[in-house]
Structure 1
Amino acid sequence: MATNLPKTMRGQFLEAFHKPYALQSVSLPEPSGPHDILIKVDAASYCHTDYVLGEGQMPGFPKKFPHVGCHEFAGTVVSHYESPSSQSSAFKTGDRVGVPGRAFHACGACFECDGSKDPVSQDDQGYSAYCVHAENNGISRDGGFAEYAVVDARQLAPIPTSMTAVETAPLMCAGITIYAALKRCQLESGQRVGIMGAGGGLGHLGVQYAVKMSFKVLAVDAADGPLELVESLKVGARIADARAEKAADIVQQLGAEDGKKDRGEMGLDAVIVLPESQAAFDYAMTLLKTHGKCVVVSFPEKGFHISAHDLVFRDISIIGSLVGSNRMLREMMNFSAKHNVRAIAKSFPLSKLNDLVVDYHKGGGGKLVVDMSLED
């Protein structure tokens, strides 16, 4: 532990389910293993999973109270373990890093760490973001809603010089999740992709990524605020209000644009489902061409009803997508810097985290971020 660091830090703690966060002062955490790095948290982004966790809808998590949430944050390296690993030594004091939730202390030996064959989750042998034994920042262990945090060097992504910590934090979950989902669509330039929930935290990033990947984008939402946010991006995506436009009508319009006459040729090549509603899922399935791909990111408590007719007679593939590898995380960060992909975000000081949560429930779209540089 560096000698010039404070002995204590402030953090926002969950003390029980269904309760507001409580600002407390606690001892500074310390690196406990060769891959561990202590960072000063510069920005921490709020995710829907933080809400789900706080409501007790993730059985078994958190493991104990009080608990520090947030699994998408960014910070500055301040110290290492006394005998750092080569991965840890690659990050120097003062380096700026982005921190995703998965996977803290990956075991290095399970079937995932031994070498996944999935190109989206593939990492160097000995580490996997899908390790079955790893912990998760902000979920199974403390995360980023505090002034300091211990992170695993193998998780991290360097922050490009053109990006701030506040811009980086939302990309550590929302960014990598939607980027990986787009990769799972396996589309070629010029093909059509739809994003359900396009004005949300993941969705509005996905619209930007998809346009920059040279796909034809249909951005779908069903609330005024999120639709206005997508409109404000001005990236050339086609925007659909699901309350006013039927999916079947959109399919016919796209078919006419593409010069297609058979129903199986009309519509989207792939669609990504971000909302937890059955209506959004059904809308998405209707938008697809025959042989299309439906990539599911949301995981509603009661699941989705799936039409066997779509699977058998239309050859629709349904694919789940969680996050991407550390390798893909770095690719996403570089892509974001190069193409100026940024979250539309509103910032709060650490002491106002509960105000941030109130704002989240207003459903305005975009991302909400704790900026540690703001005055309390």
Structure 2
Amino acid sequence: MASSSDPKLPPLMKAQFLEAFNKPYVLRSVPLPTVTDPHDMLIKVDAASYCHTDAVLAAGQMRPNPPSFPHIGCHEFAGTVVALPEISTSPFQVGDRVGVPGRAFHPCGTCFECASSPTAEDADADPPGYSVYCPRSQNNGIDAPGGFREYAAVDSRQVAPIPENLSAVDTAVLMCAGVTVYAALKRCRLKPGQRVGIMGCGGGLGHLGLQFAVQMGLEVWGVDNADAPLRLAGEVASGARVIDARNVDATEVVARLGREDGKQDRGDMGLDAVIILPESQDAFDYGVSLLRNHGKCIVVSFPERGFHVSARDVVFRDISIIGSLVGSNKLLRETLQFAAQNNVRAVIRTFPLSRLNDLVAEYHKGRGGKLVIDMALSDGS
């Protein structure tokens, strides 16, 4: 029987536990998880990326489903299959490298969400039998154990094979940040040459979004308001125009576009779509102000108090406000292939598992890019 009781596997593993809100992680040795469900696999975690949602969860702001303690975080990670249950439906084999998103862990397969078929308008949605919106499922790193540990049990239906030219570290950041911003760009429904703005362009999702959008052939405008993220965006965003919101008003950008296009009517001037990544009302307002009439505002962030939406923008300018949670399984695999083929890579700093709290401290400095636990690093790295 190939399982976590396999004699070739160690009896214990190290894992980082969150034991209370607003407290440091605690590193402990615990038994390896078992894999008995036919859909599950045991993987050796090779890299685990830190996401803004990890910070939201640790602060006690993840509502309505806060975790139970002790909790193992991380919902974007990558690893190598090391064991399968005796009866397995997995398409993967021991030795395969896979990327693991937080998405639905053990979806029920029968609720109205799981039973829904993709519509013509949303061909990128999952087929019947799975839905990220399944109300009965769990999510790795959110309300089920995640990737801040040496071994993890994962649902083989929800993971993606890693292309040969992507490392585990590069893959981990694509499992939430990458697929989320890629899916948001797809929801814009733009054609090459159309204009998209990315609010928060120097953050983890933002600097990946800039690269994806440029490679999609879009005219890309990035907006941020802090020195370090703006520098990072400028470094990775060849072909994009990056704006410092502290110095350039949205009306100036719109007027510039009007002059470039020879347009005079305000409704015909501006961007075709914007993606809102920061949890900031100012960022939301700035982004909507960049839109031409009939433009799309794709909302990815979810501030605790929400956003104020101007009814005048919705009614008189026909601005569409569209939420985007994360990509489907189809888009997960598409994101990895697109990144591998177009050399889309995050700017990454790595830490060993034992230094997760140092990583968290670095995250709160707000320097942009992505921070990743690399299991290959030793404590002194």
Q: TM-score range by the shorter chain?
A: over 0.9
Q: Does 1:306 align with 2:309?
A: yes
Which residue in the other structure is 1:98 paired with? 99
Seen in structure 2, the aligned counterparts of structure 1 residues 60 and 282 have a Cα distance that, compared at 3 Å, is closer
Which residue in the other structure is 2:169 paired with? 166
CA shift, 1:62, in A, is: 4.3
Supply the AA of the counterpart residue of 2:255. Q
- For residues 39 and 248 of structure 1, the distance between their equivalents in structure 2, rounded to whole angstroms, comes to 51
Supply the AA of the counterpart residue of 1:79. A
Q: Does 1:246 align with 2:249?
A: yes
CA shift, 1:258, in A, is: 1.6
In the TM superposition, what whole-angstrom CA distance separates every residue of 1:196-232 from its partner, at most 9, and x where no partner exists? 0000000000000000000000000000000000011
2:24 to 9, 20, 23: 20
- For residues 124 and 325 of structure 2, the distance between their equivalents in structure 1, rounded to whole angstroms, comes to 9
- For residues 143 and 351 of structure 2, the distance between their equivalents in structure 1, rounded to whole angstroms, comes to 25
Q: Contact 2:178–2:208 (CA<8 Å) still a contact in 1?
A: yes
1:142 to 140, 145, 151: 145
CA shift, 1:128, in A, is: 2.0
Deviating more after overlay: 122-131 vs 256-265: 122-131
Q: What secondary structure, in the 3-state scheme, does the structure 2 residue paired with 1:112 have?
A: helix
Supply the AA of the counterpart residue of 1:209. F
Which residue in the other structure is 1:322 paired with? 325
Q: Does 1:45 align with 2:49?
A: yes
- For residues 323 and 363 of structure 1, the distance between their equivalents in structure 2, rounded to whole angstroms, comes to 23
1:132 to 106, 123, 135: 135
- For residues 65 and 340 of structure 1, the distance between their equivalents in structure 2, rounded to whole angstroms, comes to 39
Which residue in the other structure is 1:68 paired with? 72
1:81 to 81, 85, 89: 85
Q: What secondary structure, in the 3-state scheme, does the structure 2 residue paired with 1:173 have?
A: helix
In the TM superposition, what whole-angstrom CA distance separates every residue of 1:59-110 from its partner, at most 9, and x where no partner exists? 354442111000000000001111111xx1x101000000000111011111
1:189-338 residue pairs with structure 2 within 5 A? 189-338=192-341
Supply the AA of the counterpart residue of 1:91. F
Q: Gapped runs of 5+ residues in structure 2? A: none
Q: Contact 1:121–1:129 (CA<8 Å) still a contact in 2?
A: no
Q: Contact 1:120–1:324 (CA<8 Å) still a contact in 2?
A: no
Deviating more after overlay: 122-131 vs 248-257: 122-131
Q: How large is the RMSD of aligned CA atoms in angstroms?
A: 1.1
In the TM superposition, what whole-angstrom CA distance separates every residue of 1:8-44 from its partner, at most 9, and x where no partner exists? 0000000111100000000000113110100000000
Q: What secondary structure, in the 3-state scheme, does the structure 2 residue paired with 1:193 have?
A: strand
Q: Contact 2:118–2:126 (CA<8 Å) still a contact in 1?
A: no
Q: Does 1:30 align with 2:21?
A: no
- For residues 234 and 277 of structure 1, the distance between their equivalents in structure 2, rounded to whole angstroms, comes to 23
Deviating more after overlay: 359-368 vs 259-268: 259-268
Supply the AA of the counterpart residue of 2:112. F
CA shift, 1:116, in A, is: 4.1
Q: Does 1:111 align with 2:134?
A: no
Seen in structure 2, the aligned counterparts of structure 1 residues 199 and 332 have a Cα distance that, compared at 3 Å, is same
With structure 1 as the length reference, what TM-score do the two structures score? Answer: 0.97
Q: What secondary structure, in the 3-state scheme, does the structure 2 residue paired with 1:113 have?
A: helix
Supply the AA of the counterpart residue of 1:335. F
Which residue in the other structure is 2:15 paired with? 11
- For residues 289 and 125 of structure 1, the distance between their equivalents in structure 2, rounded to whole angstroms, comes to 36
Deviation >4 Å, runs of 4+ = none
In the TM superposition, what whole-angstrom CA distance separates every residue of 1:272-329 from its partner, at most 9, and x where no partner exists? 0001111001000110000000000011111111111101110100000000110110
Task: Give aligned pairs, total.
Answer: 373
Q: Percent identity?
A: 65
CA shift, 1:121, in A, is: 5.5
- For residues 129 and 60 of structure 1, the distance between their equivalents in structure 2, rounded to whole angstroms, comes to 16
Q: Contact 1:174–1:201 (CA<8 Å) still a contact in 2?
A: yes
Supply the AA of the counterpart residue of 1:74. A
In the TM superposition, what whole-angstrom CA distance separates every residue of 1:167-198 from its partner, at most 9, and x where no partner exists? 00000000010001001100011000000000
- For residues 303 and 32 of structure 1, the distance between their equivalents in structure 2, rounded to whole angstroms, comes to 41
Deviating more after overlay: 133-142 vs 255-264: 255-264
Q: Contact 1:71–1:173 (CA<8 Å) still a contact in 2?
A: yes
Q: Contact 1:260–1:266 (CA<8 Å) still a contact in 2?
A: yes
With structure 2 as the length reference, what TM-score do the two structures score? Answer: 0.96
Seen in structure 2, the aligned counterparts of structure 1 residues 57 and 346 have a Cα distance that, compared at 3 Å, is same
Q: Contact 2:294–2:320 (CA<8 Å) still a contact in 1?
A: yes
Q: What secondary structure, in the 3-state scheme, does the structure 1 residue paired with 2:104 have?
A: coil
Supply the AA of the counterpart residue of 1:94. G
CA shift, 1:366, in A, is: 0.5
